Structure 1
Amino acid sequence: MEKRILVPTNFSKHAWNALVYGFGLYKNIPCTFYVLNAYQSGSSLPEKFSLSKSSGRNAHEKAREESREGLEKILQGLSFRKENQRHQFETLSSSQPLPEAIQDAVDKHNIDLILMGSKGENVSINSAYENTVTAISEKIEKCPILVIPEESSPTTDVVREVVFPTSFRMIFKLKELTALMDIASSFKAGILVLYIDTDNKGLNKEQETNKKILKDYFSKFDCSFHTLTKTTISTGTRLFIESRQSDLLAIYKRKQGFFSKLFAQPFVEEIDFNPNIPVLVLKEND
């Protein structure tokens, strides 16, 4: 089945890196990549996501022209890449703020995954601070987001295993996990389901049931279940990833509140874990 992938760009290295990463991710799958530039994004977003902050008709026209020219250059660059004839490309230019432009594209084009580049070595998932990743992930609904650190290598064998922390306190809808399973299938990667037992009480009956449902969902994959005790969720997840040198972190985010349902219980610790690996943000889906 063809996938529809949205890649926001500010014409930077990390935005291009995210696009190239997508080529490897979907190397065996027909895809349409929608490359989006929002040329009048809000001032809270990083430099270059807003090509022109000036007001007035002339400034607006200039910004729109710069956006179109930048997207045309990307298409020209893509014309030299012949590794996958099953990949198609379309460009989108929008004068809306970036989150609104992304949501509009998701709704109009039935997007399956958003690929975003993150400047620097880390992906900030600390919702206490304003940044592009937080702004987008808080506002975008019903579409998963894969955030790629700038230094990640866009090779086709980059993902050996995906860490998926969960509290087993909810039942996931299968379609909410589709992006995770697509990645595991594409790279033949293992799925490591991680439970942080913060109170050292073990799983109750409801959690055991939900764990069994996940086992059924992931039955066709190389899936294993892991438990850590006497640690916090952030620290435990970070140490687990570092100890195994895992390649990707998948987290689940509800429409409201902090990242991931794994933080559903009363949670006062700040989320200060900023991975240096790609982060897949799975979204709640009605």
Structure 2
Amino acid sequence: MEKKILIPTNFTKHAWNTLVYALNFYKNIPCTFFILNTYEVPTRISLSKNQNTELEAAKAESEKGLQKILQGLKFRQENKKHQFETISRNEDLAEAIQECIDTHKIDLILMVSRGENVSINADFENEISEVTEKVENCPFLVLPEQMQELPESNREIVFPTTYKFPFKNKEIVALIEMAIYLNASVRILYINSDNRPLTKEQEQNKETLKTYFADIDFSFHKLTQTTLTMGVHLFIESRESNFLALYKRKQGFFSKLFSQRSKEDINFSPKVPVLILKELE
């Protein structure tokens, strides 16, 4: 089944590397890659001829950059079933992404975060945090700038959950598909900070996950006497896991992970790629 992947670009080498990563990631799968560039011209009090000129220049630069990317892609042969479409928009990035999702039925958004870590902390003002907060109905895969090569075997995706809320199957399809693409195991992690037994509702939600993950390798894990954030960090580092999957409910585990109760919570920035699953209606 063909996948539709959206990749925003600002024409930097890191944005190009994200595109190359996507081509390799989906090298055995038919895909249409939508490459998006947004540009904005500062608003002035009056619409002058000069402003219109700046707008046209920004548009031309955006379209020229996108064409340059297409030229570069002609030299790559990951998959002859890969197709590419470019999109240039004069609007806010989050708005442009949402428009693309609604128009083209995007399956996944790939973005790169600056630095060695993935900065997705909603308490800080940055592009990644803003976009993942505003955009709805589509999962994100956020990559660190310095991507480490995946091992040939024993690949793991860590999926923290509280079991407090039921998941819809369609909300975790992206996680299941990623595990299949990567031939990776999913490690479902429960942080039992208060050392209480699971409620009947939590047990039921845990059983439901078993049915969702029936076709992939998965296992349940529990940590006690640690915070949510520290527990996730320790688990990933101790096992040298390769990916982290976070479920972003409007009010739930994701927001708790980035609470401002302590400096340690605020500094949560994993060094592995992060798949952000979104709550769906």
TM score, norm. by length of structure 2? 0.91
2:15 corresponds to: 15
Corresponding residue SS for 1:164: strand
- Compared with structure 1, are the counterparts of its residues 158 and 247 closer, same or farther at alpha carbon in structure 2 (3 Å cutoff)? farther
Deviation at 1:74, TM superposition (A): 0.3
Match of 1:87 among 82, 85, 89: 82
CA distance in 1, matches of 2:179, 2:40: 36
Q: Which moved more, 1:156-165 or 1:87-96?
A: 156-165
One-letter amino acid of the counterpart of residue 235, structure 1: M
- Compared with structure 1, are the counterparts of its residues 4 and 156 closer, same or farther at alpha carbon in structure 2 (3 Å cutoff)? farther
Asked if residue 29 in structure 1 is aligned to residue 29 in structure 2, the reply is yes
Query: 2:41–2:55: 8 Å Cα contact kept in structure 1?
Result: no
Match of 1:260 among 254, 259, 270: 254
Deviation at 1:119, TM superposition (A): 1.6
CA distance in 1, matches of 2:41, 2:240: 36
Query: 1:169–1:206: 8 Å Cα contact kept in structure 2?
Result: yes
CA distance in 2, matches of 1:188, 1:29: 14
One-letter amino acid of the counterpart of residue 182, structure 2: F
CA distance in 1, matches of 2:42, 2:113: 17
2:279 corresponds to: 284
Asked if residue 142 in structure 1 is aligned to residue 141 in structure 2, the reply is no
Q: Deviations along 1:54-106, whole A, 9 cap, x unmatched?
A: x7111111100000000001000001001211111000000011110111111
Query: 1:9–1:16: 8 Å Cα contact kept in structure 2?
Result: yes
Match of 1:227 among 214, 222, 226: 222
Match of 1:238 among 229, 233, 236: 233
Aligned residues: 272
Q: Deviations along 1:17-63, whole A, 9 cap, x unmatched?
A: 211111222122110000000012899xxxxxxxxxxx711111110
Question: Structure 2 regions of 5+ residues with no counterpart?
Answer: 44-49
Q: Radius of gyration: which is bigger?
A: 2
Deviation at 1:271, TM superposition (A): 3.7
Q: Deviations along 1:206-236, whole A, 9 cap, x unmatched?
A: 1111001001110111101100000000000
Asked if residue 152 in structure 1 is aligned to residue 147 in structure 2, the reply is yes
Query: 1:15–1:118: 8 Å Cα contact kept in structure 2?
Result: no
One-letter amino acid of the counterpart of residue 135, structure 1: E
- Compared with structure 1, are the counterparts of its residues 60 and 259 closer, same or farther at alpha carbon in structure 2 (3 Å cutoff)? farther
CA distance in 2, matches of 1:59, 1:158: 51
CA distance in 2, matches of 1:252, 1:158: 25
Asked if residue 112 in structure 1 is aligned to residue 107 in structure 2, the reply is yes
Question: Structure 1 regions of 5+ residues with no counterpart?
Answer: 44-54
2:94 corresponds to: 99
Deviation at 1:153, TM superposition (A): 4.0
Corresponding residue SS for 1:260: helix
Match of 1:196 among 178, 191, 195: 191
Corresponding residue SS for 1:27: coil
CA distance in 2, matches of 1:259, 1:76: 43
Query: 1:159–1:187: 8 Å Cα contact kept in structure 2?
Result: no
- Compared with structure 1, are the counterparts of its residues 86 and 162 closer, same or farther at alpha carbon in structure 2 (3 Å cutoff)? same
1:62 corresponds to: 57
1:132 corresponds to: 127
Q: Once superposed, which parts of structure 1, at least 4 consecutive aligned residues long, lie more than 2 Å away?
A: 153-159, 256-261, 266-272
One-letter amino acid of the counterpart of residue 126, structure 1: N
TM score, norm. by length of structure 1? 0.90
